[in-house]
């Protein structure tokens, strides 16, 4: 995932989170959690690259 994709996925995730807290719809919650999982995996992927890079 590149920076632009990351940005748009985070924006979509936040939109889904806000929609869930307005509606408490379980389907919206599932969508928000799916996006959160994608973002969490991307953060871990980049973190492992940064941590393994020589100083």
- Candidates 31, 21, 24; CA nearest to 39 is 31
Mean pLDDT of the chain: 96
Total number of domains in the chain: 1
Question: Residue 12: how many CA atoms within 13 Å on its side-chain side?
Answer: 14
Residue 49 binned pLDDT confidence (cut-offs 50, 70, 90): very high
55: pLDDT strictly greater than 90:
no
Residue 52 inside a domain? The answer is no
CA atoms of 9 and 3, how far apart (whole Å)? 10
Residue 29 inside a domain? The answer is yes
Q: What is the model's pLDDT at position 54?
A: 83
In terms of residue numbers, what domain contains 30? 3-47
What whole-number percentage of the chain has pLDDT above 70? Answer: 100
Residue 42 inside a domain? The answer is yes
Residue 11 inside a domain? The answer is yes
Q: What is the model's pLDDT at position 42?
A: 98
pTM score over 0.85: yes
Residue 25: alpha-carbon gap to chain centroid = 19
Q: What is the model's pLDDT at position 53?
A: 83
């Amino acid at each position: 995932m590149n920076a632009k994709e990351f940005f748009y996925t985070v924006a979509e995730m936040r939109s889904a989170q806000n929609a869930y807290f307005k509606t408490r719809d379980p389907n919206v919650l599932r969508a928000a959690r799916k996006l959160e999982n994608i973002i969490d995996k991307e953060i871990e992927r980049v973190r492992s690259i940064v941590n393994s890079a020589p100083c």
